[in-house]
Amino acid sequence: MNNQEEKNSIVDKILNKIKNEKVKMKPKIYFILRTVLLVGGSLVLIFLIISLVSFIVFSLRTSGALFLPKFGSPGIKIFFMSLPWLLILIAIILTVLLEIFSKKFTFVYRQPIFYSLLIIIIITFIGSFLINKTSLHPNLFWKAQERHLPGIEMVYRDFGVPRIKDVYYGIISGITDNGFNIETPRGEVFNIIINSETRLALEVNIEEGDAVVILGKQSNSNIQAFDIHKVKKDFNLFRPQQIHDHRPLLK
Amino acid sequence: MKQKNIQQSDEEIVALIQAGDIDFFETLIHRYEKKMKRYARKFTSDDEEIKDIIQGIFIKSYVNIQSFDPKRKFSSWLYRIAHNELVNALKKKKRNILPLFELDTFLPHSLQDNSLSQNIDRQDIRKMIDKCLDQLKLKYREPIILYYLEDLSYKEIAEIMRIPISTVGIRIKRAKEIMKSIFKKLRYTL
């Protein structure tokens, strides 16, 4: 077969397939729908990532883990051990999926992955920061506690307010002879015992209504405090009644 | 099918095909068949495989032609399909597979200017490509072919390979360095 014949044979084969409708042109609507799905899928992924990261931050706030670095190297160690690694892994997987999805867009693949990842991270942090400024997660957590949240109830109950061994976070609900009482975001009440083993900066003036993080050993509802740090009060984590009346809502 | 309106641009022809005049597709095949064959030949020497790849390229382009935006360049779009067909063909034979992730697409690089290549002119690079193309990894081979043999721009190559424009420059630069070292090693002369 000479070159011209060979050329014709390829062209004829292709044209015959088209003529005999062995191959059919996909309609424009197919590509429009595909683009809509791609954009929609990317938006859903962004939404999931922001929700998940804001939820991780919420769980770190409610458990008091976010304040642990204040306790120095022991606190930092507990902080890393208490991170919700499963949720972090899911967030990373979703981010990689979003990166793969967004690679279909010209404005994304023309730039180094570093930039698109940076943009995803910035959007996620801004989004989760804004969500954590609202009462969304605390409200959902309370609804989950009251079993009014089908579907994601388990997530909030299991991960929402994790317990970290020897770490207690709450609002001081009363001063006692040997310490004070706190109410945690779960609504539990603990009696904090301060003695010679407790590290508490002398200049720290603890008053009713203050938010504190305590490192200590629990025995029933008593906690022998080793270290106490006063922290910024996080109003969103507690119900208004807890802050004003110090009445636990859930037992 | 008959070849019509040779004067029109590729993009104008595609717009006509999209509007339903599929006879124009033959014109596109005639315009690009030789280029596609030359491109495929740089990745495989198997004539039968090349025929299959060429058929695959044109059939895929016909099937997906409604996804082409006539405001963009048709040749880049067709080369993108060719790139996918070639990668798939090489994958089937487990030869020189492009990994899912390459580190050089991750970090930003300054754009390499290969237009004024030091000491080597375009003609010499073409000779080098002919002699040591087989020894280049696919990730270096493809941009250097598209740039020096198919005369495409960085932007077009980036569109075809779906990599950042700056990575195209880096890969072409690296490909030239590798070719130079091969030449030195094998004592080739230009």
Report the SS3 class of residue A164. Answer: coil
Number of domains in chain A: 2
Please report, for chain B, the start and end positions of each structural domain, with discontinuous segments joined by +: 10-92, 103-186
Q: Residue A230 domain-assigned? A: yes
For position A64, what pLDDT does the model report? 85
Strands A167-176 and A222-231: unpaired
* Residues A208 and A136 both lie in one domain: no
Q: Is A244 on the interface with B (CB under 8 A)?
A: no
Q: Is B115 on the interface with A (CB under 8 A)?
A: no
- Of the candidate CATH numbers 3.20.20.70, 3.30.2350.10, 1.20.58.110, 1.10.10.10, the domain formed by B103-186 belongs to 1.10.10.10
Q: Residue A171 domain-assigned? A: yes
Least confident of B21-35, B90-104, B123-137, B159-173: B90-104
Q: Is A32 on the interface with B (CB under 8 A)?
A: no
Distance CA B152, CA B144 (A): 10
Q: Is B25 on the interface with A (CB under 8 A)?
A: yes
* Residues A35 and A134 both lie in one domain: yes
Q: Residue A75 domain-assigned? A: yes
In this structure, the number of other CB atoms found within 10 A of the CB of residue A41 comes to 15
Q: Residue A180 domain-assigned? A: yes
Report the SS3 class of residue A199. Answer: strand
Interface test with A, best of B58, B63, B78, B109 (most A CBs within 10 A): B58
From chain A, pick out residues whose CB is under 8 angstroms from the CB of B56. Answer: none
Interface ipTM: 0.80
Q: Residue A141 domain-assigned? A: yes
Q: Domain spanning B10-92 has what CATH number?
A: 1.10.1740.10
* Residues A181 and A65 both lie in one domain: no
Distance CA A142, CA A136 (A): 10
CB within 8 A of A161, min separation 6: which ones?
Answer: A59, A62, A63, A141, A184, A185, A186
pLDDT value at A247 more than 50: no
* Gyration radius of chain B over CA positions: 18
* Residues A229 and A143 both lie in one domain: no
CB contact under 8 A, B162 and A111: no
- How do residues A171-205 score in pLDDT, each as one tens digit? 999 998 888 999 988 788 999 998 887 887 555 67
Asked if A183 contacts A241 with a C-beta cutoff of 8 angstroms, the reply is no
CB contact under 8 A, B63 and A25: yes
Domain boundary among A131, A158, A185: A158
* Residues A152 and A196 both lie in one domain: no
Distance CA A161, CA A111 (A): 40
Q: Please, which pLDDT band fits residue B38 given cuts at 50, 70 and 90?
A: very high
Q: Is B56 on the interface with A (CB under 8 A)?
A: no
In this structure, the number of other CB atoms found within 10 A of the CB of residue A131 comes to 18
CATH number, position A237: 2.40.50.140
Least confident of A2-6, A31-35, A48-52, B107-111: A2-6
- How do residues A140-169 score in pLDDT, each as one tens digit? 887 877 777 777 777 887 777 778 888 999
pTM of the model: 0.79
In this structure, the number of other CB atoms found within 10 A of the CB of residue A69 comes to 13
For position A246, what pLDDT does the model report? 46
For position A241, what pLDDT does the model report? 56
* Residues A71 and A154 both lie in one domain: yes
Encoded tokens for A130? 């804004």
CB contact under 8 A, A18 and B54: no
Instruction: Give the closest residue to A170 by CA, choosing from A162, A158, A181, A157.
Output: A181
The answer to whether the Cα torsion of A205, A210, A216, A221 is positive or negative is: positive
- The boundaries of the domain holding residue A55 are 28-158
Strands A189-193 and A222-231: parallel
Closest chain B residue to A117, measured at CA:
B106
Q: Residue A207 domain-assigned? A: yes
CB contact under 8 A, B164 and A112: yes
* Gyration radius of chain A over CA positions: 28
Asked if A42 contacts A98 with a C-beta cutoff of 8 angstroms, the reply is yes
* Residues A39 and A116 both lie in one domain: yes
Q: Is B39 on the interface with A (CB under 8 A)?
A: no
* Residues A203 and A105 both lie in one domain: no
Three-class secondary structure assignment of A107-152: HHHCCCHHHHHHHHHHHHHHHHHHHHHCCHHHHHHHHHHCCCCCCC
Interface test with A, best of B41, B47, B63 (most A CBs within 10 A): B63
Domain boundary among A96, A127, A158: A158
| Mean pLDDT, rounded, for A223-230 | 90
Number of helices (H), then strands (E), belonging to chain A: the values are: 9, 5
* Residues A85 and A50 both lie in one domain: yes
Q: How far is A205 from chain B (nearest CA, A)?
A: 50
* Residues A117 and A79 both lie in one domain: yes
Domain boundary among A125, A141, A158: A158
Distance CA A150, CA B66 (A): 44
Instruction: Give the closest residue to A191 by CA, choosing from A167, A165, A238, A225.
Output: A225
From chain B, pick out residues whose CB is under 8 angstroms from the CB of A19. Answer: 1
* Residues A192 and A149 both lie in one domain: no
Q: Residue A41 domain-assigned? A: yes
Encoded tokens for B145? 């072919």
DSSP state of A156: I
For position A236, what pLDDT does the model report? 66
Q: Please, which pLDDT band fits residue B143 given cuts at 50, 70 and 90?
A: very high
* Residues A183 and A227 both lie in one domain: yes
For position A115, what pLDDT does the model report? 92
